[in-house]
């Protein structure tokens, strides 16, 4: 159970929660293949009102899952966005019904490489079909309809979650009232694809890779750890790393590195292996790289169909998803006369800024949702 100290820090927690799984008959993917059955892992916080018009879908980033807020039984750490979800918080569960689901292709309960293939009786592993950001959103739409919700009050997310939010506004323009996009992009640049490719190659080069048909007791753990180390570097800013690590030596007897930043990355890589699957890492990063609503005139044309209001947040220190990519989204929305508010926060934490506690960010999210809820403008 969470300690009193933890509860004090995360004041207003939704408390102890659990992840649920709903099963649908099937989902036809954009590539033409079908997932049968379709399983979606999800959590909800708050209460769906009688009109069913107070629901907010929160979309997670690459390594996230359905557990966005509260505590699982026995856990000392809350969900990945607990600071912002709960009674009295930005995503106020006294006011809104929050839905968070694990993306398909992931490894935290929704259909993905770890799912069992009904035809063979074994897990799919690398034989699972390719899934896109569009497929992830189409699966979420089934979940939303499962609750009897016709129109979401908002869809929100950062990084890959921001891409899902964008995709919702394009694929289901009449199904959401507001869209919150944080630290994200309308498509990956060559540099962003390059970072992901290095991570995938680390996994594919692991002696235990076995074409993705590895056993759980002989996984490509070293490759996945290296992929995570590479990714984690891009999540932090130079300023944050200098302040946190400098050129300090590691603590303890760490023989594999001479610097604190090295031991930190090793820890991040090794702990990631315990909670994520190598195949899922490949599937999800490929979904990221293949996502494209276009840029410039192409993006403007695609966003001409949206019908919701937008809040777009970028971070000055984010060099993985730099602010200019958010500004491109904003410009395309403005050309289409779509109501949009853009804020660039000078948070030194880098790409991870959207995940971290911030009173300023909390206030921005709270004000945007409240103004919309009351029919006003942000």
Strands 38-45 and 97-101: antiparallel
State how far the Cα of 265 lies from the Cα of 232, in Å rounded to an integer: 7
State how far the Cα of 237 lies from the Cα of 315, in Å rounded to an integer: 10
Q: Is 351 part of the annotated catalytic residue set?
A: yes
Q: How many of the other CB atoms lie within 10 Å of CB of 97? A: 21
| Catalytic residue from among 60, 67, 188, 351 | 351
Q: Which two structure tokens, joined as six digits, stand for 179?
A: 């869209």
Q: Is 159 part of the annotated catalytic residue set?
A: yes
The H or E element spanning position 310 is: strand 309-315
- Give every CB contact of residue 370 below 8 A, 6+ residues apart in sequence: none
Strand partners, 215: 218
| Catalytic residue from among 135, 206, 318, 352 | 318
Q: Is 358 part of the annotated catalytic residue set?
A: no
Residue 248 Cα to chain centre, angstroms: 32
C-alpha distance from residue 153 to each of 47, 58, 79, 102, 286 (Å): 13, 11, 22, 20, 30
| Catalytic residue from among 159, 184, 221, 237 | 159
State how far the Cα of 57 lies from the Cα of 97, in Å rounded to an integer: 9
Q: What are 76-85's contacts with CB under 8 Å, separation 24+?
A: 76/2, 76/3, 76/6, 77/6, 78/2, 78/6, 78/10, 78/13, 79/17, 79/43, 80/355, 81/355, 82/10, 82/13, 83/10, 83/356, 83/357, 83/362, 84/361, 84/362, 84/365, 85/14, 85/45, 85/58
Residue 146 Cα to chain centre, angstroms: 21
State how far the Cα of 48 lies from the Cα of 151, in Å rounded to an integer: 12
- Indicate which residues carry an active-site annotation: 159, 318, 351
């Amino acid at each position: 159970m969470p300690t009193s100290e933890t509860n004090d820090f995360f004041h207003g927690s939704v408390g102890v929660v659990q992840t649920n799984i709903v099963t649908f008959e099937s989902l036809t993917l954009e590539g033409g293949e079908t997932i049968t059955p379709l399983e979606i892992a999800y959590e909800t916080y708050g209460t769906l009102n009688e009109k069913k018009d107070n629901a907010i879908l929160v979309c997670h980033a690459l390594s996230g899952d359905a557990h966005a807020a509260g505590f699982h039984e026995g856990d000392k750490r809350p969900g990945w966005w607990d600071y912002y979800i709960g009674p009295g918080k930005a995503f106020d569960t006294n006011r809104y019904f929050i839905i968070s689901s694990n993306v398909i292709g992931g490894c935290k309960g929704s259909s993905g490489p770890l799912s069992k293939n009904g035809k063979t009786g074994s897990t799919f592993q690398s034989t699972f079909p390719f899934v896109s950001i569009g497929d992830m959103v189409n699966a979420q739409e089934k979940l939303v309809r499962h609750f009897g919700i016709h129109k979401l009050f908002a869809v929100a997310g950062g990084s890959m979650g921001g891409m899902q939010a964008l995709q919702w506004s394009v694929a289901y323009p009449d199904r959401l009232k507001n869209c919150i996009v944080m630290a994200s992009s309308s498509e990956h640049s060559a540099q962003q694809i390059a970072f992901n490719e290095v991570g995938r190659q680390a996994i594919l080069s692991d002696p235990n890779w076995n074409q993705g048909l590895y056993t759980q007791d002989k996984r490509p753990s070293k490759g996945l750890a290296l992929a995570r180390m590479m990714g984690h570097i891009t999540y932090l800013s130079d300023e944050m790393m200098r302040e946190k690590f400098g050129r300090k030596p590691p603590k303890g007897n760490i023989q594999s590195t001479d610097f604190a930043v090295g031991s930190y990355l090793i820890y991040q890589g090794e702990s990631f292996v315990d909670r994520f699957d190598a195949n899922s890492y490949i599937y999800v990063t490929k979904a990221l790289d293949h996502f494209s609503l276009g840029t410039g005139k192409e993006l403007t044309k695609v966003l001409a169909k949206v019908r919701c209001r937008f809040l777009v947040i970028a971070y000055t220190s984010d060099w993985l998803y730099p602010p200019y990519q958010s500004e491109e989204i904003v410009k395309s929305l403005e050309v289409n006369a779509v109501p949009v508010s853009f804020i660039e926060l000078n948070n030194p934490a880098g790409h991870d800024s959207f995940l971290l506690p911030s009173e300023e960010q909390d206030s921005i999210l709270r004000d945007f949702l409240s103004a919309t809820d009351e029919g006003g403008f942000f």
